[in-house]
């Protein structure tokens, strides 16, 4: 059954979930974002798309850097808190007991126990509809091959199933 509906169809993308960390002066924030992706292999560039009204936008715009920590399928609560609470009224790091580790090239920490982490320096920023696109050069990256990613589909967090083709 095929349904034509431009609004409802937007929920049928399946994406990974990143925790975006940013820091400017003494302000540190974490925000969940399903809108992040690799955009170039050489040089290694990653993009994150952030709404202009978000506190994360201001922090990245002013600092020129951000961290991307991709959630495992055991970190749904972290993603929920990072995406549903505001920095201005909550300390998200305390609400969810985020475990972090220090970055080498950026001032924001990275989230520990994730499937992968990337330290990014902004090389470009431009407007894409109602969001800012930050293009970041990856300075270093980490991964854990034993973890499985958290995916977001139709408004819910999900696990990835077993491989279909070996």
- Domain definitions of the chain by residue range: 20-153
* Tens-digit pLDDT profile for residues 104-118: 999 999 999 999 999
The per-residue pLDDT for 153 is 87
Topology classification of domain 20-153? Pnp Oxidase; Chain A (2.30.110)
For 122-129, the CB contacts below 8 A with 24+ separation are 122/60, 122/64, 122/65, 122/66, 123/45, 125/61, 128/49
Q: What six digits make up the tokens of 82?
A: 């990072």
Is pLDDT above 90 for 87?
no
Report residue 37's pLDDT band, with 50, 70 and 90 as the boundaries: very high
**Cβ proximity of 143 and 116 under 8 Å:** yes
CA dihedral over 107, 109, 51, 134, signed as positive or negative: positive
- The pTM of this model reads 0.93
Q: Are strands 14-16 and 65-70 parallel, antiparallel or unpaired?
A: unpaired
The per-residue pLDDT for 161 is 83
């Amino acid at each position: 059954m095929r349904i034509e509906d431009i609004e409802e169809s937007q929920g049928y993308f399946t994406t990974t979930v990143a925790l975006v960390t940013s820091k400017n002066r003494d302000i540190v924030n974490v925000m969940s974002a399903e809108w992040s992706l690799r955009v170039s292999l050489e040089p290694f560039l990653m993009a994150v798309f952030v709404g202009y009204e978000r506190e994360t936008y201001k922090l990245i715009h002013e600092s020129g850097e951000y961290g991307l920590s991709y959630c495992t399928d055991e970190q749904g609560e972290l993603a929920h808190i990072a995406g549903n609470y505001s920095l201005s009224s909550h300390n998200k790091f305390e609400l969810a007991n985020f475990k972090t580790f220090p970055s080498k090239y950026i001032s924001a920490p990275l989230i520990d126990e994730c499937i992968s982490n990337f330290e990014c320096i902004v090389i470009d920023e431009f407007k894409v509809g109602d969001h800012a696109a930050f293009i970041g050069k990856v300075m270093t990256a980490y991964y854990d091959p034993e973890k499985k990613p958290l995916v977001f589909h139709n408004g819910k967090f999900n696990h990835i199933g077993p491989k279909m083709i070996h």
